[in-house]
Every structure is written in structure tokens, then in C-alpha cells.
């Protein structure tokens, strides 16, 4: 990997000014022509869009070891099963994320969701099935101590796993640039067989259509719960078009605020119907959340109550509140505890013939960085394998702050605390709030990686060469919750987000990253 000439140690190839201007023009016009677009920043978005901008993008695909890409694809099948089982373990989620024992005691957002899930359970759940559209995010880990480059998980997303359809178009963009320019012959790695296929749109739509079929009412619609003023609307629209064109399923799009006025749950049958200005109320088979993952989506109690109303209906939730809670950072940390992962995957007494082999759990564990809860006293292995007491989780975080990130129970980017910001943050963190945070060892990304990054508005001079780090996400879906405890699941695609190396956060929608794709290399 670190051998002279490896693309993982020196990337991207150099372009002349004329080549850079030419390929930037080709890339931006292709993006605008093929729906790789955003709505522009506006104080108030008009009901009907009047303009678009291309999504932030990279001109070259990013090198990624073929063996690790194949590993990430294989791991997704195991992760699909793991999080399906976590989501259906009420006792575990109550203990880890609940408002009585777990993170929900001190994290109000988590507690609000958990209390409404508890209320639904008390009433009696009428729809046992859950749908998950998942994305597991990874970075390359190169500690530089003679160890080979490995694959390490950043996080697992169980709600609003976005950018699947735009990432497919980003991969298509790079394929087009190779075909149209040959990338001017600047690298022997830029060959067709090193550009992996990406058909995430069809894969995610398949998961939604399987839930729709399981609901059993062909004429029902799928509800997309969206944010007010959403700029990333086209990433959602491409999925909507795929559902209609391939599966003949209609989509209704509304925000939680709108649904507070339009959603009705039949008190007897628990059928969910949603009214719209264009026609009579329609029955909903599946509720797909592209909102609801952040407290700002719930500005008042009314939005939480609407979420509760949707949850108590017969419609299949994607995700259910339980599955959203399963994606919490605290769950990610608790799964690293000895035996917890194996209990969910490999316990024959618990899962019978559905138990997975120990090797499946070992592969997952190998993809994790060290992490712990700030509210814990932690035992760790010292030199020679002896167990040594390291004191409280907070003390350990202070001692190792320069190599850590602190994470709360949040999604969407911009929520974490890094490195030198950790000690003053810990000074300000109330003792009772520690249960809502975990500490995670930072991934040591490879040195020497760069890219040409293009954001809208720069014209042909808008490409900026920068040192970068890339994050690869693997998508999958899982339909589960029946009496037989079977998990129907599939790995369905991937994305790449690339950011400047000095940027700690990684969200495209949050403005930190650009959309990219993979260039497979052998190491």
C-alpha cells in the first residue's frame, strides 16, 4: 500500500490548467444534466423550485483497496441481521437507550422518542414488521506501525440513510469522465474494471417495495416524511421515481408538521390515512423517514405526538422508533462489550438455526475502533494481556483526548467533539449528562490522499486541489419482526463522501463534504 507509486500514497494525478478547466466543465454540466443536484440556499424555499445547483463533487474517484471494499459489502449482510435483532430486543434497548435506565434519562431527544415507543407497547403493537434502510460508514485505517491498512467503522445509520441515489449518479459521473476524456491518460489505474457498479437507487427502492408488498394492500401509498425547506430533495425524488416506474407504487411527501393536520389513524383498524390538497385521503403501507433524526425536526410536542400516531398505526415504519434507537451511538458502544455482539449473532440457544458463525462476529469486531462510555469505569488490557484499571471513562478521555472523538446520540453531522476541544468540553459536561456520550478512538487515515473538489458557483476555475479523507458507506435493507424472527435482508449499494483533511465533520448536506466514488486498487 505504501509502495512508491501506489495511488493510496499519492493521489490525484496532476492535471494541467487547461485539462482541469475542461474536465470541470464536463463534470458540472453532466451533474446538472443528470440530476446530481441540490436546491440552492434560500431563506425560504418556494413551493415549486425555480433553480438548482450541482451537488458538491470530486473530479476523480478515490482509490480504495479492492479487498476492503469486498469486505465492507460482505459485512453489510451481518450488520443487517445484527441491527434487526437489536431493534426487536425491548429489554436491551430499555436498558441502553431508555428514559429510566439508559441514555434517555439524560438525553431529552432520546427520552422523548423512547417514552412514545413505550406508550405504543403499552397499548399493544399492531404492526410487528419493521423496515430498515441502513448505511454502514467506514474509513481506511493506516496506523503506520507496520500493520496493513484495514477497514474501520465510523457509525451505523438506521434512519434517513441518505445520498444513495446521488452517489449512484456521482459514480456515473466518474464513469462518464473516463469514457469521454480517458482522464487524459494521467493514471494507469483509471480503467473500466476499477470502477465498481453502483445501483443503489434500485436496491433501496426494492426494500421499500418489499415492505409495501408485506403490508398487503396494492393500492396503498408509501409516505415520505421530509423536512421543511429540504435542499437535498432530489436524492429523495429519484427514489420516488424508481418506486413509481419499477414497482407502480405512489409516494406522498409531507413533513411532521403537515402530518399533524393530515394524518388519521382509524381507532379500530389502526389503518393510517393521509389527506392531501390534490385528492381524498390515501392509505399508507410504509412510512419512510427522511426527517425525524434530529431535535430540530420536533420544534414542539406536536411533532413528537405525530411521530407517536404514525408509530401506533398499521403502516410499516422505516425506521420504527425502536430501530431508530438501535442506531444510537450508545448501542454502538455497548455492542463492543465482551459477549454482547455474540449474544445477538451467534447464540445457538437463542437463535437456533438462525445463529451465525463465530467468524461473522469476529469480522465485525475487527472493524471497530476502541470506544467506551463517559459514564463508565473501564477495564482495559495492558501490556502482556493483564487487566488494568484505568479509572472513569471521563478520566480516560482526558488522558487520550488528542486521539479521540466524543459522540452524542445524534445524526446528521456537526454534533461531535474532537481532540483538543475535548478537555474543556468535559469541564462543562454535567456528571448526569455523561451517559449520553461515548468516546471513540480516531481512525488513522492514510497520508498523501488528495482530490480536486468542486462546489457550485466557481465556474471552470472552481476546482480546488486539497488533501482529503474519504468515507465509504455501504447500503442495505432488512425487513423483519415476524413471529419466525427471520430477517430478509440484502446489501444494495454504496457511496463515497470526501472532505478536506482538516475538517472533522463529514456531512454533505451539512456542507463539509463532496460526493465522490470508488476506484478499486489492489494492494
Question: Is 135 part of the annotated catalytic residue set?
Answer: yes
Gap between the Cα atoms of 118 and 127, Å rounded: 15
- Please enumerate, by residue number, every residue annotated as part of a binding site: 135, 155, 157, 159-162, 230-232, 236, 290-293, 329, 407-416, 418, 440-443, 471, 497, 499, 505, 508-509
Give the pLDDT score at 451.
94
Residue 2 is assigned to a structural domain of this protein: no
Domain boundary among 442, 461, 479: 442
Q: Which of 413, 442, 447, 489 is nearest to 73 (CA)?
A: 489
Query: Looking at 412, 500, 507, 511, which residue is catalytic?
Result: 412
> Is position 411 annotated as part of the catalytic site?
yes
Question: Which of 185-194, 226-235, 408-417, 462-471 shows the highest mean pLDDT?
Answer: 185-194
Range picked from 178-192, 373-387, 426-440 for highest mean pLDDT: 178-192
Q: What is the pLDDT of residues 279-297, one digit of tens each?
A: 899 999 999 999 999 999 9
Of 329, 330, 396, 434, the catalytic one is 329
> Where is pLDDT greater, at 124 or 383?
124
| pLDDT above 90 as % of the chain | 80
Domain assignment present for residue 273? The answer is yes
pLDDT at position 26 over 80:
yes
Domain count, the chain: 2
Query: Range of 412's domain?
Result: 370-442
The reply to whether 407 belongs to the active site is yes
> Are 272 and 375 in a shared domain?
no
Q: What is the mean pLDDT of residues 502-513?
A: 57
Q: 198 in a domain, yes or no?
A: yes
Query: Is the pLDDT confidence value at 278 over 90?
Result: no
End residue of a domain, out of 411, 442, 473: 442
Three-class DSSP category at 427: helix
Asked if residue 240 lies in contact with residue 252, where contact means CB atoms within 8 angstroms, the answer is no
Residue 155: active-site member: yes
> 136, 162, 313, 470: which one is catalytic?
162
Any idea which residue has 455497548 for its cell?
334
27 with 57, same domain: the answer is yes
Distances (CA, A) of 412 to 227, 391, 511: 13, 32, 11
- 46 is a domain residue: yes
Whether residue 8 lies inside any domain: the answer is: no
Cα 136 from Cα 198, distance rounded (Å): 16
Q: What pLDDT band is residue 3 in, cutting at 50, 70 and 90?
A: very low
Q: Do 380 and 447 belong together in one domain?
A: no
Residue 61 shares a structural domain with residue 151: yes
> Annotated binding site for substrate: which residue ranges?
135, 159-162, 230-232, 236, 290-293, 497, 508-509
pLDDT at 511: 47
pLDDT attached to residue 277: 77
Determine the average pLDDT of the residues in 5-18: 85
Cell triple for 276: 392531501
Together in a domain, 272 and 384: no
Do residues 435 and 297 share a domain? no
CA–CA distance, 208 with 123 (Å, rounded to integer): 27
pLDDT at 45: 63
329 catalytic? Reply is yes
- Which of 42-56, 89-103, 155-169, 171-185 has the least mean pLDDT? 42-56
Together in a domain, 278 and 409: no
- For 341-359, what is the mean pLDDT? 97
In order, the DSSP letters of 126-157 are: S---EEEEEEEEEEEE--SSSPPPEEEEEEEE
**Is residue 120 predicted with pLDDT exceeding 90?**
yes
pLDDT of residue 387: 43
Same domain, 462 and 379: no
Check whether residue 294 and residue 381 sit in a common domain.
no
The reply to whether 6 falls in a domain is no
Residue 456, in any domain of the structure: yes
- Cα dist. 269→89, 108, 312, 313 in Å? 26, 32, 11, 8
Catalytic residue of the set 85, 135, 312, 396: 135
Pair 56, 454: CB distance under 8 Å: yes
DSSP annotation string for 47-61: SS----EEPPEESSP
State the pTM of this model. 0.93
162 an active-site residue? yes
pLDDT at 34 over 70: yes
Which residues, listed in sequence order, are joined to residue 166 by a DSSP beta bridge? none
CATH of the domain at 396: 3.30.1490.50
The binding site for Mg(2+) comprises 155, 157, 411
Q: Residues at the annotated binding site for ATP?
A: 155, 329, 407-416, 418, 440-443, 471, 499, 505
Asked if 77 is an active-site residue, the reply is no
Give bridge partners of residue 493 from the DSSP assignment. Answer: 475
- Among 142, 155, 178, 187, the one annotated catalytic: 155
Are residues 82 and 192 located together in one domain of the fold? yes
List the beta strands (DSSP E) in 93-214: 130-141, 150-157
What integer pLDDT is reported at residue 442 of this predicted model? 96
Same domain, yes or no: 306 and 356: yes
Residue 149 to residue 367: CA distance in whole angstroms:
12
Catalytic member of 407, 434, 450, 476: 407
Question: Sorting pLDDT into bands at 50, 70 and 90, what band is 515?
Answer: very high
Q: How many CA atoms lie within 13 A of 411 on its CB side?
A: 23
How many helices (H) and strands (E) would you count in the chain? 16, 23
Answer whether residue 512 shows pLDDT above 70: no
Among 442, 465, 480, which residue terminates a domain?
A: 442
| Active-site entry in 210, 242, 411, 491 | 411
Same domain for 285 and 152 = yes
pLDDT at residue 241 greater than cutoff 50 = yes
Mean pLDDT (the chain) is 91
The yes-or-no answer on residue 194 being catalytic is no
**Phi-psi domain of 412 (left: phi exceeds 0; alpha: psi -120 through 50; beta: other):** left
Q: What is the pLDDT of residue 279?
A: 81
- More confidently predicted of 393 and 478: 478
d(CA 293, CA 291): 6
Query: Is residue 136 among the annotated active site residues?
Result: no
Angle at 243 between CA 242 and CA 249, to 5 degrees: 150
What is the separation, in whole angstroms, between the first and last Cα of the chain? Answer: 5
> In terms of pLDDT, which residue wins out, 94 or 389?
94
What pLDDT is stored for residue 457 in this prediction?
79
**3 lies in some domain:** no
Amino acid at each position: 500500500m505504501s509502495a512508491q507509486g501506489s495511488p493510496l500514497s499519492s493521489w490525484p494525478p496532476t492535471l494541467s490548467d487547461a485539462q482541469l478547466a475542461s474536465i470541470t466543465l464536463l463534470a458540472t454540466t453532466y451533474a446538472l444534466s443528470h440530476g446530481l443536484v441540490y436546491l440552492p440556499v434560500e431563506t425560504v424555499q418556494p413551493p415549486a423550485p425555480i433553480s438548482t445547483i450541482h451537488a458538491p463533487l470530486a473530479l476523480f474517484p478515490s482509490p480504495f483497496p479492492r479487498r476492503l471494499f469486498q469486505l465492507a459489502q460482505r459485512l453489510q449482510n451481518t450488520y443487517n441481521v445484527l441491527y434487526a435483532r437489536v431493534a426487536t430486543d425491548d429489554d436491551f434497548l430499555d436498558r441502553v437507550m431508555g428514559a429510566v435506565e439508559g441514555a434517555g434519562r439524560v438525553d431529552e431527544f432520546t427520552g422523548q422518542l423512547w417514552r412514545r415507543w413505550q406508550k405504543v407497547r403499552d397499548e399493544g403493537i399492531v404492526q410487528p414488521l419493521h423496515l430498515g434502510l441502513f448505511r454502514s460508514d467506514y474509513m481506511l485505517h493506516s496506523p503506520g506501525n507496520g500493520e496493513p491498512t484495514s477497514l474501520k467503522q465510523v457509525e451505523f445509520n438506521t434512519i434517513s440513510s441518505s445520498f444513495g441515489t446521488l452517489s449512484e449518479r456521482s459514480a456515473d459521473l466518474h464513469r462518464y469522465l473516463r469514457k469521454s476524456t480517458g482522464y487524459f491518460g494521467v493514471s494507469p489505474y483509471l480503467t473500466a474494471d476499477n470502477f465498481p457498479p453502483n445501483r443503489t437507487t434500485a436496491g433501496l427502492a426494492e426494500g421499500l417495495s418489499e415492505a409495501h408488498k408485506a403490508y398487503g394492500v396494492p393500492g396503498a401509498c408509501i409516505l415520505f416524511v421530509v423536512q421543511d425547506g429540504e435542499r437535498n430533495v432530489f436524492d429523495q425524488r429519484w427514489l420516488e421515481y424508481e418506486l413509481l416506474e419499477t414497482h407502480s407504487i405512489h409516494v406522498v411527501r409531507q413533513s411532521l408538521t403537515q402530518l399533524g393536520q393530515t394524518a388519521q389513524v382509524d381507532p379500530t383498524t389502526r389503518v393510517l390515512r393521509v389527506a392531501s390538497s390534490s385528492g381524498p385521503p390515501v392509505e399508507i403501507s410504509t412510512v419512510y423517514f427522511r426527517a425525524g433524526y434530529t431535535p430540530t425536526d420536533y420544534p414542539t410536542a406536536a411533532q413528537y405526538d405525530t411521530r407517536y400516531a404514525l408509530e401506533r398505526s398499521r403502516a410499516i415504519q422505516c425506521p420504527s422508533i425502536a430501530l431508530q434507537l438501535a442506531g444510537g451511538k450508545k448501542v454502538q458502544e455497548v455492542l463492543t462489550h465482551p459477549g454482547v455482539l455474540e449474544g445477538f449473532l451467534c447464540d445457538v440457544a437463542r437463535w437456533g438455526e438462525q445463529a451465525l458463525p463465530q467468524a461473522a462476529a469476529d469480522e465485525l469486531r475487527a472493524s471497530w475502533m476502541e470506544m467506551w462510555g463517559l459514564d463508565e469505569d473501564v477495564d482495559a488490557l495492558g501490556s502482556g494481556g493483564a487487566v488494568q484499571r484505568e479509572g472513569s471513562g471521563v478520566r480516560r478521555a482526558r488522558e487520550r483526548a488528542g486521539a479521540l472523538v466524543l459522540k452524542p446520540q445524534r445524526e446528521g453531522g456537526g454534533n461531535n467533539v474532537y481532540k483538543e476541544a475535548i478537555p474543556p468540553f468535559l469541564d462543562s459536561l454535567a456528571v448526569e449528562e455523561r451517559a449520553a456520550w461515548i468516546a471513540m478512538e480516531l481512525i488513522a487515515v492514510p497520508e498523501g490522499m488528495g482530490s480536486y473538489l468542486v462546489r457550485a458557483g466557481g465556474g471552470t476555475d472552481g476546482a480546488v486541489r486539497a488533501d482529503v479523507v474519504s468515507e465509504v458507506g455501504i447500503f442495505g435493507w432488512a425487513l423483519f419482526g415476524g413471529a419466525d424472527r427471520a430477517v430478509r435482508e440484502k446489501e444494495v449499494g454504496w457511496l463515497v463522501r470526501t472532505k478536506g483533511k482538516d475538517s472533522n465533520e463529514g456531512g454533505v448536506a451539512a456542507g463539509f463534504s463532496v460526493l465522490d466514488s470508488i476506484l478499486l486498487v489492489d494492494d
